[in-house]
Amino acid sequence: MIGASERGGRRLSFGALSAIPPCVPRILFVTTTYPLAPGDAIPAFVADCAQALVRHHGCDVKVIAPGHPTAPARETVNGVEVERFDYAPDPAKQCVAYGGGIPDNLRNFPRAKYQLPGFFAAMAAAVWRNVPDVDLVHAHWVEPAFLSMLATGRRRPVVISVHSLKPKRSRLHAWTLRRADRVLFNSNYTLGQAREKGYACRAQVVYQGYDEALFGPQPRTGAARRALGVPDDAPLVVALGRMIEVKGLHVLAEAANTILRSRPTAHLVIAGDGPERKRIQAIVDASPFQSRIHLPGALPRAQVARLHADADLFVNPGVVDSRGRAEGLGITTLEAMASGLPVVGSRVGGITETIFDGETGVLVPPGDAKALAAAVGQLIDDPATRRRMSLRAREIARERFTWPALAGQVAGVYREVLGVDR
């Protein structure tokens, strides 16, 4: 339990301590990515989970995440304490985390490889400092879990959330997953990948969710359309995500000409940033319809919600990339469904677990620009089908992918691992 009147640098009064039920689990999240400011464009699923555990399930959560020059070393956001570690002599030049994600950063920034040992050492040290004050470590991704096990010396249980796996079998992954007290996979697809690689572990699937307060209740105001110069009555198709190969946004850019050629009022938005942006920009620049293809860059979450509210259709064109990776789930799809958008998506990875083909959207072969254009075009031309799919998409999102319910599953795992009944 918390020893004195202080936890991780956050001072608590004795009154505050007495108000905390004795069975409140104290959880240490260890992650390679976390929003640098509330509502920014960085994927927020780890933060959403942490905040839902605090707000709805009475957990006390602290997060260990990589540092960044734009973010404070310590802060508390929505009840979650965040500690960020620096890992390079000059923190302003740190480039292992954020941006396009660690795998792509290591490939695109030569100095990231030299910073990696310091990154691992700093993360392990941060875990080691915090272990005495927590009951359980919840690591996101396998490498942080491995470091957490080394740092804790198995003094605390370790739960792992697996959001993706390396295409090839890894001895480090096998060792780490086998020793975890519980492994939570973000989709049946990801769990299947682990089984194909022969990884033995105490496994279950817990999906990721969307922010109910942000996605769904937004009214259609036309503000996002006006900002882009899109008329109120124009069909508006939206796709977004990190511009990395696995997201397949380049396939949608290649399909744009076919989609727009016979639909002179339709507009397409491809939002995001990353190493694939130059490739996508070049495709758009060569299009005769480039005035109706919009690349607004990475958008804060509130702007994404407003864009969804003003849109008619969402596209998730994920592919299997050159390294053999596919989308583990597709949170952008969940946010779009919650906003009432039918979705055209690729029949690959975990995307198939979010889109009900013919019911909430349409699934097409991955990497097939012609099939993608045909499906998008068909839905643009069929408002009645879009309305039917819109209603069902909202229903499915609310039934299966809300964070209060999903975080309840995670809290239940904590209680099982800790042997706590509530």
Cα–Cα distance measured from residue 168 to residue 181, given in angstroms and rounded to the nearest whole number: 23
**Tokens, residue 199:** 């990884």
Angle at 349 between CA 343 and CA 351, to 5 degrees: 20
User: What CATH superfamily is the domain 6-209+402-418?
Assistant: Glycogen Phosphorylase B; (3.40.50.2000)
AA letter at 37:
A
pLDDT of the residue at 4: 32
Residue that is written with structure tokens 């919840």 in the block: 138
Using pLDDT thresholds of 50, 70 and 90, give the confidence band for residue 41: confident
Average pLDDT over the chain reads: 92
Q: Where in the chain is the domain with CATH 3.40.50.2000?
A: 6-209+402-418, 223-400
Using pLDDT thresholds of 50, 70 and 90, give the confidence band for residue 314: very high
Reported residue count of the chain is 422
Cα–Cα distance measured from residue 345 to residue 376, given in angstroms and rounded to the nearest whole number: 10
Cα–Cα distance measured from residue 72 to residue 35, given in angstroms and rounded to the nearest whole number: 11
**pLDDT above 90 (res 99):** no
Beta bridge partners of 76: 81
Cα–Cα distance measured from residue 2 to residue 8, given in angstroms and rounded to the nearest whole number: 10
3-class SS letters over the chain: CCCCCEECCEECCHHHHHHCCCCCCEEEEECCCCCCCCCCCCCCHHHHHHHHHHHHHCCEEEEEEECCCCCCCEEEECCEEEEEECCCCCHHHCCCCCCCCHHHHHHHCHHHHHHHHHHHHHHHHHHHHHHHHCCEEEEECHHHHHHHHHHHCCCCCEEEEECCCCCCCCHHHHHHHHHCCEEEECCHHHHHHHHHCCCCCCEEECCCCECCCCCCCCCCCCHHHHHHCCCCCCCEEEEECCCCHHHCHHHHHHHHHHHHHCCCCCEEEEECCCCCHHHHHHHHHCCCCHHHEECCCCCCHHHHHHHHHHCCEEEECCCCCCCCCCCCCCHHHHHHHHCCCCEEEECCHHHHHCCCECCCEEEECCCCHHHHHHHHHHHHCCHHHHHHHHHHHHHHHHHHCEHHHHHHHHHHHHHHHHCCCC
Span 396-419, pLDDT tens digits: 999 999 999 999 999 999 999 999
pLDDT of the residue at 23: 56
pLDDT of the residue at 421: 66
What value does the mean pLDDT take over residues 89-102?
A: 92
Span 323-366, pLDDT tens digits: 899 999 999 999 999 999 999 999 999 999 999 999 999 999 99
Span 228-250, pLDDT tens digits: 999 999 999 999 999 999 999 99
Q: Give the other-Cβ count within 10 Å of 242's Cβ.
A: 22
Closest C-alpha to 310, from 214, 212, 225: 225
Closest C-alpha to 115, from 98, 140, 130: 98
pLDDT of the residue at 108: 85
AA letter at 298:
A
Cα–Cα distance measured from residue 142 to residue 197, given in angstroms and rounded to the nearest whole number: 14
Do 209 and 354 touch, CB atoms closer than 8 A?
Answer: no
Cα–Cα distance measured from residue 121 to residue 116, given in angstroms and rounded to the nearest whole number: 9
AA letter at 380:
I
**pLDDT above 90 (res 13):** no
Beta bridge partners of 27: 61, 136
Do 162 and 53 touch, CB atoms closer than 8 A?
Answer: no
pLDDT of the residue at 226: 97
Q: What is the pTM of this model?
A: 0.90
CATH of domain 223-400: 3.40.50.2000
**pLDDT above 80 (res 395):** yes
Span 170-223, pLDDT tens digits: 999 999 999 999 999 999 999 999 999 999 999 999 999 999 999 987 899 999
